[in-house]
Structure 1
C-alpha cells in the first residue's frame, strides 16, 4: 500500500490508531484550542490526516514516507495517545532519516507553542525534546524560580497539618528540629512546581545521585507526594542543615529539604540526606 502525506503547507497531525473515534475527536479538540502566551492567542495550524491507510504507522515508517523533507517534523496520534488520559501526541523529527528518528510527546495544551515554534523555526526539535518531563512529555518550559521569604514561626505552626501518610515521622522530626535551630526569623525559599521537583528527584534516583550520601530519609515518599500534587499548583522549597535528632543521633549531619504548600505552608514532602562519609560531622 502506498502512503502519501498531503502537502498543505501546514503541520501534519496523522492519526495512526483507529480504535476510538471519540478519543480522537477529544484529542483534536484539545490540541487545537487557542493558547494564551501572555501577549496574544495562538492556535496550532494542523492539517488532520484521518486516513486508515496510516493505521499502525510508526516513527520509522514516517521516515520512509517522508523521503526528502519537508516536512521536517510530523505529529502522530498513535495507540499511546489514545490510551493516555492526557492524550499526549507523538512528535517525530523527520529531518533525521535514521530508522529510529528522535521523538518526544506533547501535551495537547502545548501543541500551539510547539507547532508554531517548529513551523517558523524559532525553536528546534531538540529545544523541546530536551525539556520533557521524566515521562517524556513536554508540558511547557519551566519558568524561572522566584524567591520568597518564609516566616519561621508560621512554618513551625504548620507542621502539624502534614499528612502522616505522605511525610514519614522521622523526616518530620528532622524537619522540625532543623527548623527550630534555624538562627533567623525568616527562611529563604523558592517557588517550584510539584511536577518539576518530582521529575528532578526521579532523575536523581534513577542515576543514583544520592549514593555518596551517608544516609537518605524520605526519598521515595517525597517522589510519591510530589507526584500526587501533579499540576495542582506551586510549592515553595527551602533547606536547612540537619539538627541532631533521635532519628539520626548516630549519623553525620546533613541537609533537610522541605516542600511546603505555598498557601498554607503545610509540609508536602521532606527529604533529609546525610553528608558524604568523610565530611565534617558537626
Structure 2
C-alpha cells in the first residue's frame, strides 16, 4: 500500500518533461496532445488535423475551415476555456502544489490511494473534496510514469492513453504557417477579445504605475497591484504575508473615493488615514491586524508623488468621463444599424426604431430619455433595455409597414420614434403589438412617454404582463403615462365581520348564496377600496365567461354600478373564483354580489 505523499511526489517527477499522449473526453472528443514545458503545445484530431498550436509568444486555434485564429500571448492575458480542456491532464501537478505559505491547492484532502487501471495502464486512484463545495474530484496517477491518467468530476471526465515521456519534438510542430486571421477579426470572439484586451492593458498600466511600498508587516511580504487608475493615481494592492492576506488602497483625498476593485471587495476594512495628498486604507481578508500592528503599517508606508495637482487630475478625470459617456451614447443611438438584422434574430432585442430624421439632437434626447435609469428604491435601478435603430432607410416607416415586415416571427413588440415623438414636448413613443394573434392583438398601438419605457419593456420582455395591460391604461389621448394609483383603502373585513354582515341581507339569490357559502370559505376576508362605479360596471359588462365559469348576480351588479360616482368595493376569494360587492350605502351593503 502506498500513500498520497508518495504519489504526489511521483506526479512532480513529470514537471519539465515532454509528454505525448492521446486524451479522451466524456463528450466524445479525442485529441493527440504534445506538450513541451513550459509553453509549447500542439493538439491534433484523430485524423491528424491540427486544432491548436501554442508557443512562448503566439497561439493559433484552428477553425473548422482550416483558418487559424492568431493571438499574441501576454503576461496578463486571460483566456476563457469552454467545456473540457484536454491539456489539463498534462499539468495536474499544479492542482496540489508543495505545501507552504504561498501554496494555493485546487483540491481538498486526499483519500487513501486505490489501485486501478485506465485504458490498460495501471495507476493509483485518489479522491479529493472540492474546495468550492461541488462534487468530489477523482484523479488517477500512472504507477510507472507519474502522468495523470484520468480526471473525473460528476459526469465529466478526461482520460489519457499511450503516454510517452521525454520525446524530442521537432520545433516546427509548435509553429503555424497556414492561413491566419488575427483574434480581433474573429467575429465569434470579438466581444470577448475586446474585454480581454482591455483587461490586459489595464494590468500593464498598473504595472507601470508608481507602487505603494509596504515598509512593515509581521512577516515576509509579497505584494501585487490588482486594480487602479493610472490617470488619478488610485491603486489597490494585495499583500500576502504567510497565510494572511491584506489589501492596501490609496486615492487622492481631493477626489471621490473609487469603488474597491473586485479582488479586494470581500476584504474587511481595518482603518484608513490621510498621508500627504493621499487617503490610504488597509483591509484584511481573514485575520485582523492588532491596533499596534495597524499603526506600524500606516507609519511605514511609502507613497509616490501624485500624478499632478488635484485640479489638473480632477479636470482630466472629468474629460475622460465625458468622453466615455459620449462613446456610450454613440453606441446607444444605433447609427447605421440594419433593421433586418434584428427582426428575426436568435437573440431577443426590444427595438426602438427612428423613423423621423429631421432633428438628430432631438433623436438623441428621445433615446437617452427612453433608456434613462429610474430609481427602484434599492441599489438596482429600473431601465429599459432597448436596441436603437438609427438608419435613414427607415424614414417614414409606419407601424403597419413594420408589422408586415415582422410577420409571425419575433419580436412580439416594438417601439417607433416618429414625427410626433420628435415634435411633441412629451416625446410620446409608439408602442406596437406584434404578437401572436391567438394571444395578443397584432397591430394595436398606443403611445408611451419615455419615463415609462422601463416598465413596458421590462415586463413584456419576461412575459410578466401583456401588451393590453398597458394599452388599456393609456389616457383618452392614447398616451400611457403610468398606471393610476391603487384605489384608496377603506377597510379590511375579517371572517367574523363578514359572517355578521352576510346575515343581515338575503334579499337576492346572490346574497342568499353568499351567506350560505361564506361559512365554508377558508381564511375569508375582504379588502375594501374606493372605486369609480363605472369602472366596476365596465369590468363586468365586458366579461365573456367561458363554458366552465359560473356568474351569479351579474344583472344586479350591473344595475347597481350603472351610474356615476364612487363606491366601496371588495371581494372574497374562493377556490376557482370570488364573491365581490360593488357598493356600500348608509344602511349597509348593497344587495348585489357576483360569484
- TM-score, normalised with respect to structure 1: 0.49
Larger Rg: 1 or 2?
Answer: 2
Structure in which a larger fraction of residues adopt strand: 2
Higher relative contact order (CA 8 A, sep 6+): 1
- TM-score, normalised with respect to structure 2: 0.24
